[in-house]
Structures are given as C-alpha cells and as structure tokens.
C-alpha cells in the first residue's frame, strides 16, 4: 500500500531527541562554552581605545561644563546640542570622579551596558520563563549592537537599562497594580524621555498597546459572545510585558516540556485580590494603572518641557534625511551586526529565533508548528519592537527628523525577548545548544571586529600636526562636525577654528544649523584665516565634502586658500569609510 504523507499538524512525529536525553557532559560543555563567550564579551567592552568621534567627544565637552555660573553651563550646551539632560548629568558626575580620558568616559557606558543584563533577566523571566530569560541575556551580552554601544560614550546603553527597568515596572503594574509599582513605572518612563527623545516613540507605542487592552479586548470578548462561545472560553491575552501568564520550558539548559514559566498572571486574575471585582473590571485595572504611570512619566519630564520646545524649534537633525519604512527591516539587520558577512550570518539565525518566538509552537524533537496568526507573548513583544520603529519613521516623515541606527536602541529590549522566547520552542537539545552557542560566538566575533574599527582620524591627524605644524600656524575645520574629536587630540598651541562660525572646535552648535551654513561666506572665512596666519605661518584645512549642508561651503574655503597659496599639499589622506567611520583629509597651505 502506498504511504500517504501526513502533515505534522495532523500527526505529530515522536521526538527524535528530547532535550533531557543528552549526556551531562554535553550540557556541561555547552555551559562552559557559553560562559566563556559571555565573559569575553564583558571584557571586550573595556578594550576600545580609539579616538572619540563627534557624538562621543561632544558628549564629553557638554558633560564637563559647569552646572551653574556666569559662563557657559551644561544647560547652555544641551540647548545648543538638542539633547535631554539625564545621561549628561550622569556623565558629568562620572567625569568628576574618574576623569575624561577615553577609557574613563567609555567605561561608564560599559558598566551601564553590563548592568542592564540583570533587569533584562528579571523582565524576561516574568514574561517568557527562566529558559528564555537566560537566552535573552546571553544574546544581549554577545550582541554586536550591544557590544558596540557598550564602548561608546553615548546614552544608548542607558536607554537599554531604563527600558528593561521600565518593562519590569510595567509588568508589575499589570500583574498587581500598586502605588509603588505605578511610581516605579513613572520614574522609568520619565527617565527614558529625559535620556533620548526617541524614547518618546517607545512610550507612545506602549500607550497605544495599553489602550488596545482597554478597548480591543472587551470588543473581542463581546464578539466571541455573539458567536455563541462559552462564557468561560479564554480570550487571547496581550501578553509580553503585560505580565500575563507566559510560557517557558523546563530543563537544566532548556527543556522540551512547557510550563507556566513566568510568575505573573494576567490582569484578569487579579479579581480575587480586588475583593469580588468582576473579571472585566479586573482586566481593566492593570492597563488603567499603567496608563497612569505613563502620565506620571510625563510629569517627571515636565520641568524639561521649556527646553524641549526650544530645541524642537531651533535644533534637529540637519545632518540627515528622514527614513523610509524600509529602515524598519534594516534595523533588524543592524541589531545582528550590520551588512557584514558575520552580521548577515547572525541575522539568519536570529530571524529563525524571532519567527519561532512570534509564531512557533514545539511539537517535540526537531519539529515546530507555526501559527500564522502569531502567538502570545511573542506577538505583543514583536508589536512593541516593530511598532516603536514604525512610529519613529512616521514621526520622522512628519517633522523631518533623520533616522540613525543607534537610535533604535529604544526598541531593542522587546526584540531580545522575542529571541529568548523563540529558544523555548526548540525541543531538540542539540539544536538548541548549537543555535545559541553559534549565535553567541558569531555575535561576539562580529561585535569585537566592529568595535575595534577606527571611529575617527583624529589621532592620525594629531600625529601629522605634531610633526608638521608650528606655533602660530592656523587650522580650519570644515565641517565643524569633525571638530570635537580633533579638539581632544591636536596640539594645544595650534590656532584652531571651525567653519563657518570661526569658534573653538570642541562643541557643535546645532541651533539653526542649516540656515547658518547656507548664509555663510566661505571666501571670507578663508581670508580671515590667512590674515591670522600672516605671511610666515601655515594654514591647515581638515575637511570632507561628504557632509550635508556643507556641499559647497568647504569647497569654497579650500579654493580660496589654494588661490592665495598655490603651494598646497595633502598631508593626510581621507580614510575609507569601511575602515574609519569619521574620515577626512588634512591639507597644508604653506606660506610663500
């Protein structure tokens, strides 16, 4: 008789290799390998010694300003930069204690980056279970995205930390609302808004989701009731960080049998604690309190509102254009390590984990079932990650703000939870261990390669100037965006000015930036530098023509200098973008 193939959904195959059947030796080897990779990832976060690039150097220049006084304060610097204050206050205190060397200022990000692993674990354990929580932390610590920003003097590691803390607070509010948990959520939400304005997109997405719990879930129940479903039929819950019952797995290194891995329960289960409150009222109680927490976050942010509106009117992102919606899928690739061979290989692995976390169900062994509607809590977690990116692109189109891959740190935490959840549906222990170990190894290797790439040619330029320049020489920097990095390395006796303001190079003033550059006269700036240098001193020009709003200005400056001093030469070549992020050439215009 001819055998008829039966789909797995109709006849589930027997597990080929249950997770618990592997030898203890294999389990110990897996633990040792993953532990070594995590330890290496922690150490690597303290090894980036390259010169600071624009954003890092600008952060240090602002953070070291005094908080008060008659001169320029940190608050003045923030208004010119267009940033909220929380990270800069933290960096200000850090610099006061440990100094502002490259290692010192980057170590703050490394420590914050590592510290985020603990609240991430707590959140993941509540939402996706113990096994998924461990995987989420491993993939976070070895993530190329997290590794890089653990070595950059910017606020992105703080965003991840506050997002994880906010997730823990949100889960507690939805599981068992209390004044303490609502206050915790308010502080986390306000802290996020005071760290980076893109965090507002995350808060908007969470708010929309909470409103959906209040509006869509009752509608769905009523619809099921009209269709004649039994009154006691469970309604699909929007889980994830809502604290609804999560599905985890047992086993020492991950199991094939499933249980209720998170300790939280859905908002509906709080009816007993509400003293006879109806199921519908109990289901609304958590989301309502969570929305109150978000409003409380707005109150935390409120004192900064005047500065925020001033920045909104006069600063922005004149260095870039708004993104298309294709940037959303691009963000997933950046989280995996970017457009490199290792990055694309890791993207292949995490795409599988994300699909399993979003819609997968284990049948035991090597087989998975995919529910095209998605499954909770993966569906909610994926919505929070992708929804945040969608809101960011939409807002950028409306107000003209540019997209930067580093800003997507605001959506990174829920995506990590989707990956951790995806690991819980892998029933074959060898496949589970192989996928996680390989993903961690590739992530560490890709991240280490990326974070050791040169970020600026400031150190190279400083070496050239030490050798060729003399006291009394003048250097122009065009555009001013390469000034902050150079200001930390070039000889202090050199007279240095940025184009077009002729100011010191340590900070970029983004106020009305594009308009100022359009109105600038490059010829006049070049003549001013020539007059300052006089007939006996050299004029240097550090410049690049690849910056938006400087398409003609830098060329105008260079042409004027060359006409006055034809004996010009290039003393430093512009680096390739693949090898150095902030790249530019250094030209010398010698006196006759």
pLDDT averaged over the chain? 87
Answer whether residue 5 is part of any domain: no
Is the pLDDT reported for residue 285 higher than 80? yes
Question: What pLDDT shows up at residue 204?
Answer: 97
* The two structure tokens encoding residue 555: 């060329």
Report helix, strand or coil for 496.
strand
State whether 388 and 495 are in the same domain. no
The set of long-range contacts for 577-581, using a CB threshold of 8 Å and a minimum separation of 24, is 579/453, 579/454, 580/453, 580/454, 580/455, 580/456, 580/457, 581/53, 581/453, 581/454, 581/455, 581/456
Question: What pLDDT shows up at residue 317?
Answer: 86
Answer whether residue 17 is part of any domain: no
* The two structure tokens encoding residue 122: 């707590």
Is the pLDDT reported for residue 138 higher than 90? yes
- Percent of the chain at pLDDT above 70? 85
Q: 28: how many CB neighbours lie within 10 A of its CB?
A: 12
Residue-wise pLDDT for 84-105, tens only, equals 999 999 999 999 999 999 999 9
Residue 297 contacts residue 203 (beta carbons within 8 Å): yes
Across 248-257, average pLDDT = 39
State whether 486 and 360 are in the same domain. no
Kindly report whether the global pTM for this prediction surpasses the value 0.85. Answer: yes
Answer whether residue 553 is part of any domain: yes
State whether 106 and 153 are in the same domain. yes
Answer whether residue 11 is part of any domain: no
Distance CA 176, CA 214 (A): 16
Is the pLDDT reported for residue 38 higher than 50? yes
* The two structure tokens encoding residue 174: 């939805």
State whether 79 and 157 are in the same domain. yes
Residue-wise pLDDT for 194-238, tens only, equals 999 999 999 999 999 999 999 877 776 676 666 665 544 333 343
* Residues with Cβ within 8 Å of residue 80, at least 6 apart in sequence: 315, 507, 508, 509, 510, 511
State whether 438 and 468 are in the same domain. no
Answer whether residue 362 is part of any domain: yes
State whether 496 and 427 are in the same domain. no
Distance CA 352, CA 358 (A): 10
State whether 482 and 569 are in the same domain. yes
Residue 220 contacts residue 234 (beta carbons within 8 Å): no
Query: What DSSP state is assigned to residue 518?
Result: H
Transcribe 564-585 into DSSP letters: H---EEEEEPPPPTTTEEE--E
Distance CA 193, CA 168 (A): 17
CA dihedral over 418, 419, 420, 421, signed as positive or negative: positive
For 581, the domain range is 455-589
User: Domain end: 451, 475, 491, which one?
Assistant: 451
State whether 146 and 55 are in the same domain. yes
Distance CA 318, CA 365 (A): 53
User: Domain end: 422, 451, 480, which one?
Assistant: 451
Answer whether residue 2 is part of any domain: no
State whether 326 and 352 are in the same domain. yes
Question: What pLDDT shows up at residue 400?
Answer: 87
Distances (CA, A) of 321 to 324, 393, 461, 548, 581: 10, 11, 29, 9, 19
State whether 276 and 420 are in the same domain. yes
Answer whether residue 20 is part of any domain: no
- Domain of 466, CATH number, reads 3.40.50
State whether 379 and 525 are in the same domain. no
Instruction: Among 58-67, 256-265, 363-372, name the most confident range.
Output: 58-67
Answer whether residue 19 is part of any domain: no
State whether 412 and 475 are in the same domain. no
Count of domains forming the chain: 2
User: Domain end: 420, 451, 482, which one?
Assistant: 451
């Amino acid at each position: 008789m001819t055998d008829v193939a039966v789909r797995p959904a109709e006849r589930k195959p027997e597990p080929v290799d249950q997770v618990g059947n592997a030898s203890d030796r294999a389990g110990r080897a897996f633990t040792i390998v993953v532990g070594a990779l995590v330890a290496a990832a922690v150490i690597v976060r303290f090894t980036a010694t390259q010169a600071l690039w624009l954003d890092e150097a600008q952060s240090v220049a602002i953070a070291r300003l005094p908080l008060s006084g008659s001169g320029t304060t940190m608050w003045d610097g923030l208004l010119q930069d267009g940033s909220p204050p929380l990270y800069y206050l933290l960096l200000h205190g850090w610099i006061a204690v440990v100094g502002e060397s490259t290692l010192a200022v980057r170590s703050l990000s490394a420590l914050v980056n590592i510290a985020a692993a603990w609240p991430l674990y707590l959140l993941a354990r509540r939402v996706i279970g113990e096994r998924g929580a461990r995987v989420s932390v491993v993939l976070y610590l070895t993530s190329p995205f997290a590794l890089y920003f653990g070595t950059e003097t910017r606020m992105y590691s703080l965003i991840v930390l506050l997002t994880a803390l906010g997730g823990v607070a949100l889960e507690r509010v939805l599981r068992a609302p209390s004044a303490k948990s609502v206050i915790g959520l308010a502080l986390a939400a306000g802290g996020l808004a005071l760290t980076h304005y893109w965090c507002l997109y995350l808060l908007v997405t969470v708010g929309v989701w909470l409103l959906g719990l209040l509006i869509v879930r009752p509608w769905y129940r009523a619809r099921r009731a009209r269709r004649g479903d039994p009154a006691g039929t469970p309604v699909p819950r929007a889980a994830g960080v809502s604290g609804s019952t999560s599905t985890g797995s047992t086993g020492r290194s991950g199991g094939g049998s499933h249980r209720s891995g998170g300790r939280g329960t859905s908002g509906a289960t709080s009816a007993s604690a509400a003293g006879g409150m109806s199921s519908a009222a109990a289901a609304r109680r958590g989301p309502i309190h969570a929305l109150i927490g978000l409003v409380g976050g707005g109150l935390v942010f409120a004192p900064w509102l005047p500065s925020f509106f001033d920045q909104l009117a006069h600063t922005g992102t004149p260095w870039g254009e708004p993104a298309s919606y294709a940037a959303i899928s691009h963000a997933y690739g950046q989280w995996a390590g970017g457009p490199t061979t290792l990055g694309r290989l890791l993207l292949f692995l995490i795409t599988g984990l994300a699909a399993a976390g979003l819609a997968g169900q284990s049948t035991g062994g090597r087989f998975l079932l995919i529910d095209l509607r998605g499954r909770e809590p993966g569906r909610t977690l994926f919505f929070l990650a992708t929804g945040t990116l969608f809101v960011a692109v939409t807002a950028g189109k409306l107000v003209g703000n540019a997209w930067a891959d580093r800003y997507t740190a605001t959506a990174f935490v829920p995506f990590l939870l989707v990956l951790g959840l995806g690991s819980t549906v892998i029933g074959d222990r060898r496949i589970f261990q192989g996928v996680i170990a390989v993903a961690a190894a590739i992530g560490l290797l890709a991240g280490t390669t990326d974070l050791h790439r040169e970020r600026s040619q400031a150190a190279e330029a400083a070496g050239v100037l030490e050798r060729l320049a003399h006291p009394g020489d003048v250097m122009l920097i065009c555009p001013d965006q390469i000034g902050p990095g150079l200001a930390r390395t070039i000889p202090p006796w050199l007279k240095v000015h940025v184009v077009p303001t002729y100011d010191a190079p340590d900070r970029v003033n983004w106020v009305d930036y594009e308009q100022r550059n359009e109105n600038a006269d490059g010829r006049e700036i070049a003549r001013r530098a020539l007059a300052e240098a006089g007939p006996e001193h050299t004029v240097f020009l550090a410049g690049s023509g690849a910056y938006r709003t400087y398409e003609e200005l830098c060329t105008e400056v260079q042409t004027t200098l060359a006409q006055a001093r034809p004996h010009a030469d290039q003393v430093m070549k512009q680096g390739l973008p693949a090898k150095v992020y902030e790249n530019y050439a250094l030209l010398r215009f010698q006196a006759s």
